[in-house]
Each structure stands twice: as structure tokens, then as C-alpha cells.
Chain A
Amino acid sequence: MTDDTTGTHGAVLQDTAPDGEHPLVELRGAGKSYGNIRALHGVDLSVHPGRVTCVLGDNGAGKSTLIKIISGLHQHTEGEFLVDGAPVRFSTPRDALGKGIATVYQDLAVVPLMPVWRNFFLGSEMTKGPWPLRRLDIERMKRTADEELRNMGIVLDDLEQPIGTLSGGQRQCVAIARAVYFGARVLILDEPTAALGVKQSGVVLKYIAMARDRGLGVIFITHNPHHAYMVGDHFSVLRLGTLELSAARSEVSLEELTHHMAGGTELAALKHELAQVRGVDVEELPEESDLQAPATASPEGKS
């Protein structure tokens, strides 16, 4: 797949920064090769405070590689990666955390058997007392966790309960609340709604909006264009390791986004092939514009 900038559906549109300052995180022509395999190539992406940047793409499109570069698990092999306008190269997730880039992984967010408050402070525990007797400040941690979770609208009866007994959506929310509390400026969410039901996805989307309203830059990775369109300010669609679309909210409709996600250009090509095969009805294939957009396209969770 080459840089598809000429096709009908491959337009890479310019996104204007909200102000003249540097974006929190910026990728310029970034890419990553694993040996001979080019997993990601020529990707431009910028994350601004108080904005949600959605990264969409099918399986194998390079979404995981992209977040692994930003979260410090992998290094880019081409292009530039800038934080606050300065080039960086992270070697561990700790480096990324140090720059205020926190990642909430779909499956790695929490330790299921540990109580909620221990999970909340895991890796950044509050302590008191001099060294040989330095101990956890349990009271303060419980109180803070409770406050922070309530600020995010999560009410739990018992912070001692193992976090594994919470629902999937609640667990994601605890992880998001934790990242927000610990001073994250950029929040990377790796398919937070993938394993969730409709209602729980809604809850998570609400917290994404809430994190954005607190001034964080959010990178929201998903393969669900409907979820993306509910909270997104900018959309980047990845396909086969390259940017297929990069557009601000004002420049793209949900139908277009869905079409790109569904691999619209590929479907059109496929139509000719399928037409040769008897018994396959191709009449409806390209007319994706029939898709009904939801009545409300405004972001949820804003008050």
C-alpha cells in the first residue's frame, strides 16, 4: 500500500492546531520496521491539550505499533517523535510516564485480585514514616482514591473489594481516573470499549470526555467509528501501516469515517472481482452512504 493521497477516499486533510503552541505529542512521518516488515510508515499525528485524537483501523493496521511507540514500549525507526516540540526517544514506559504520557491498556489495566485502592496507587504508593518503618499511608490513599473516583462519577461501596469484581467498564474507568490523578497530560486508551457492552462503552466514553474537559490530550484507539465520532476532535484512520485519512471533526462525517474504516476503496476494487462470481450480490456494496448516522453527533458526557 502506497501513500494513498489521490484516491477519492484517501484524502489526507490538513488539521489546524487550536493555537500556535506546540502539540503535546507529535509524530512527523514516523514509522517502525521489524526487520523486513514495515509495520508503520509515514504517520503524522498530533495531540493537543483538551482534544481527543482518535486512531482508527482494522486489525493489523498498525494501531498497536503506533501506541507502543508513543508509550515507550518500542522505538520508532523513521521520522520524528516530538513531545512539547522537542524530539524524544523513549526506552521504557517509565520514560513516557515521566513526560506525562500514560497508557491505559485494554487488558493490562489492573491487577484483578488486589483491592481497588491498592490498584489505584500501585507503583506510586503514598508512604509515611522514616525508612525502616516507612509504611503505606493507607488512610490517605483510601480517602484520595475514593475522592478521585467520585470526581469521575464512580461510586464504590467498598474500596477493599478486589478490582476483579468490578465490571469491565468500571475497571477501565478506575484506570483512567488513576492516570488523570497522577498528572498525566496525554492519555492513551487502547481499545477501551472493545470488550464492553453498549451501556458500559457509554460510561467509558463519558470518562474520555471528562478527561478531555480536564485539559488532557487523549489518544483514543478503537475500531468502532461510532464510538470515535462521539468524542473525537480529530480522526486518523490507519490502513496497512499508513495513514489513510487524517481529518478534523469538521471535515469528515460519520458516514465517511465508517466508509474509510470499512475499507471503502478496497471494497470498490473488490466489487469488480465479486461481480465475476455468480450468486454474489454486489449491487449494494459501494452505496455505503445509505448508512444511517445517529441523530446526535455531539460529544457525550459534556455538561
Chain B
Amino acid sequence: MSMTRQAEPAVTPPPAPGPKANDGRTTRRTPVRRLLARPEVGVFLGVVVVLVFFLIAAPPMRDSSSMANILYQSSTIGIMALPVALLMIGGEVDLSAGVAVVTSALTASMLAYQLSMNVWVGVIAALAVSLAIGMFNGWFLMKTGLPSFLVTLGTFLILQGINLAVTKTVTGNVATDDISDMDGFAQAKALFASSFEVGGVQVKITIVWWLVFAALAAWVLLRTKYGNWIFAVGGNKESARAVGVPVNFTKISLYMLVGFGAWFVGMHQLFSFNTVQSGEGVGQELIYIAAAVIGGCLMTGGYGSAIGPVFGAFMFGMVQQGIVYAGWNPDWFKAFLGVMLLGAVLINLWVQRTATRR
């Protein structure tokens, strides 16, 4: 399809008012409604409320080192919540995202350790494996047309089994060996798991990566062709295909983006703890999905933002640490989160109805 305009119309169409003429047929939506139509507004209000609540209820939260800690917790969720949110806007879910993080870390760790190579070899191989898992998810989905819930439930179980079985076979243990004395470890740690000091507070580098990725994702989503396609394939796949959007490419690449996120978080875990527990990661996928949904992404696709999940992940980190700082029993964490999730969903629902009502 070319971008060329049709030649001058043979007959001038009759109703052609001036470009900005207001002919009284329309009314503008009020600025408040326009603002409320943004997907991240609900979660932003929620974050403010919860933040104020904890600042009052848990005095230690007011300390800046506590805030750095909360941000760190949030970033480990947030880095994964971003691609999961983009995928959700693209109309799909990935239940294998949680264990894929561990798969990536295990791959890097065991490969480097067993072959006694520079850890970077393991890191690169893990990236390839993670992208391949994402590609498989997307390809299988597009090939079969099955619901992504089923397809990724399958890969979730497969990866969970592989993680345990391969690790036990290779190391004879459920955890990998410590790789902290291997070549390249210090460099990799600097990239994935270091921290630096800002005004006397230790800040983890993942926070920086998280915000960089978020800014990048927001730009891509709203300002590029690819972002437009993500909304389109999630909003109405068949329409998108009919106007020439490469639906398969978009969806498969979104899954590969989740793979990239899983690799990054996996590398962070590996280089902060030096060793990986093969049974971990189960259940994390739901945390990522919850963060995306709290962040205003529509589960059925076609609506959401990249900034919303940042707040969603921050909400998680804040509640997780806030309960501890407030001196409450941390066992209540999940119950609290469940309530938050339902609350966020209700707010989002209300906001969307208000905003899109004509």
C-alpha cells in the first residue's frame, strides 16, 4: 500500500467545513475525563494512597534507605512486569515467565561452571536460550491458534520439570555451584547486580535498569510503529491483519521480549546470589501479571501503558516492605496484595467506564 494520495477528487465533496471549524455538532470531553482516560491514572492514585498510609503507619519507611530498598524490591518485579505488560497489551499472557527467569540463570550458571569457561559465555548462551523459549511460545501460539494460557501453561510445566531434572542430573543437587570465583564474574556482577552510593544511600543498579527499560518501553509503545502494532494485535487481531499489520511478527517478538526480561532478571539473581535454586520462580509469573493489571493493562489486550506497570511493581515492593517496617506479621502480605489487586481492578474499571462514556 502506498502512502500516495488519491489524485484530486473529481467532484468536490459537499460538506467540507474549515479545518478547525466548530459546527456545534460535537462537544469536547472535559480535561478531567481525558486525564482519567489514561491507563496509569488509577494505579497512580492507588500508589499515592498506599504510600501515605504506610508513611503514617510505618515510621521506618520515611528513611531514604528504606525507600531504596523498596525500589530495589520493586525493580526485580518491575523489569519483568514491563514486557509482561506489553505482551498483555498485545493480547496474550505468558505463564512461563516466572520459571523462565530461573531457566535462564541455571543455563548461564551451569554452562559456565561445567565447561569452566568465562561466565560471559554462559550469559550469552542464556540469552539465546531465553529468546528461543519466547520464540517457541509465540511461534507455537501463532501456528496452532490455541489460547496463550494453555500454550504457556505447557511451557511453564516443561521448564519447571527441566529446571529440576537437569540441575539434579548435572550438579547432583537442587542448586547450582557457586560461580563467584570464575572469570568475568566481577564484570557481569557490575552490570547486573552492583550498587552505587547516592547521598549515603546504597542504590541497586537494577533500579536504574528498571527505569531505563520503562522509559524505552513507554517510548516504543506510544511513539513507534511497533507500539501501534502492539495495541492493534491486542485490540483486534483480525482487523490488524486486514490492514496489513504483521500480527505473527508482533506477537512472537513480544514473547521474545519477555524472554529478554527473564534473561535480565535471571542474570541479576545469579550474580547477586552466586548460585541458583532450581525450584524457584514458580508463582512469580502471576506476580508479574498482577503488577501489569494493577498498572492498568487490560487482561484482554489492546489497552494499557508502560508507565502503569512501573507503579504496579512499586505498589508490590511498597506493600512487601511496608508490612515489615510497620512491624506486622509478614504472613499477611499476600492477603493484602489480593485486596490491592481487586481494588485496583475496580478502580481501573470505573476509570475506563467514566472516561470512555460519551
Contacts and interface: CB of A to CB of B under 8 A. Distances in A.
Interface of A: 50, 93-94, 97-98, 103, 105, 108-114, 118, 121-127, 134-136, 138, 146-147, 150-153, 155-158, 160-162, 164-165, 178, 180-183, 210, 213-215, 303
Contacts of A161: 29, 356
Given A94-B244, A181-B5, A157 B239 contact: no
A136 B11 contact: no
B62 interface: no
Contacts of A158: 28-29, 34
B6 A213 contact: no
A213 B11 CA distance: 6
Contacts, number: 136
Interface residues of B, number: 46
B224 A134 contact: yes
Interface string B232-263: 10011011111111000000000000000000
A183 B5 CA distance: 6
A124 B228 CA distance: 10
Given A50-B10, A114-B231, A123-B244, 7 more contacts: A103-B242, A112-B302, A124-B243, A135-B223, A138-B223, A157-B28, A158-B34
Q: Is the interface of B mostly helix, strand, loop or mixed?
A: loop
B52 interface: no
B23 interface: yes
A277 B266 CA distance: 78
Interface in B31-53: 34
B11 A114 contact: no
A114 B232 CA distance: 7
A111 B240 contact: yes
B230 to A, nearest CB: 11
Interface string B5-38: 1110111011111010001011111000010000
A246 B223 CA distance: 49
B6 to A, nearest CB: 6
B17 A155 contact: yes
B10 A124 contact: no
B224 A135 contact: yes
Nearest to A121: B228
B228 A153 contact: no
Interface in B334-358: 356, 358
Nearest to A161: B29
B2 interface: yes
Given A93-B244, A123-B244, A183-B2, A155 B25 contact: yes
B29 A182 contact: no
A161 B29 CA distance: 9
Nearest to B219: A135
Listed residue (B9, B34, B243) with the most chain A CB atoms within 10 angstroms of its CB: B243
A203 to B, nearest CB: 11
Nearest to B3: A124
A210 B13 contact: yes
Given A98-B1, A113-B302, A123 B224 contact: no
Contact of A153 (B1, B14, B224): B14
B143 interface: no
Contact of A150 (B16, B232, B239, B302): B16
Interface of B: 1-7, 9-11, 13-17, 19, 23, 25-29, 34, 219, 223-225, 227-228, 231-232, 235-236, 238-245, 298, 302-303, 356, 358
A239 B241 CA distance: 30
A67 to B, nearest CB: 12
Contact of A123 (B4, B26, B245, B298): B245
B26 A155 contact: yes
Contacts of A153: 13-16
Contact of A114 (B17, B224, B302): B302
Contacts of A126: 3
Contact of B231 (A103, A118, A121, A214): A118
A183 B3 CA distance: 7
B231 A180 contact: no
B243 A157 contact: no
Nearest to B303: A113
B6 A214 contact: yes
16 contacts: A108-B242, A123-B245, A125-B225, A127-B224, A135-B223, A135-B224, A136-B225, A151-B16, A161-B356, A164-B356, A183-B4, A213-B9, A213-B11, A214-B11, A215-B9, A303-B14
A147 B18 CA distance: 9
A182 B26 contact: no
A122 B228 contact: yes
A125 B244 contact: no
Nearest to A180: B6
A162 B302 CA distance: 11
A39 B58 CA distance: 72
A135 B232 CA distance: 17
A113 B37 CA distance: 11
A156 B21 CA distance: 11
A182 B236 contact: no
B303 A155 contact: no
A97 to B, nearest CB: 5
A153 to B, nearest CB: 4
A103 B232 CA distance: 18
B217 to A, nearest CB: 14
Contacts of B235: 111-114
B244 A124 contact: yes
B242 A93 contact: yes
Given A114-B302, A150-B19, A122 B224 contact: no
B225 A151 contact: no
Contacts of A135: 219, 223-224
Listed residue (B15, B242, B356) with the most chain A CB atoms within 10 angstroms of its CB: B242
B10 A213 contact: yes
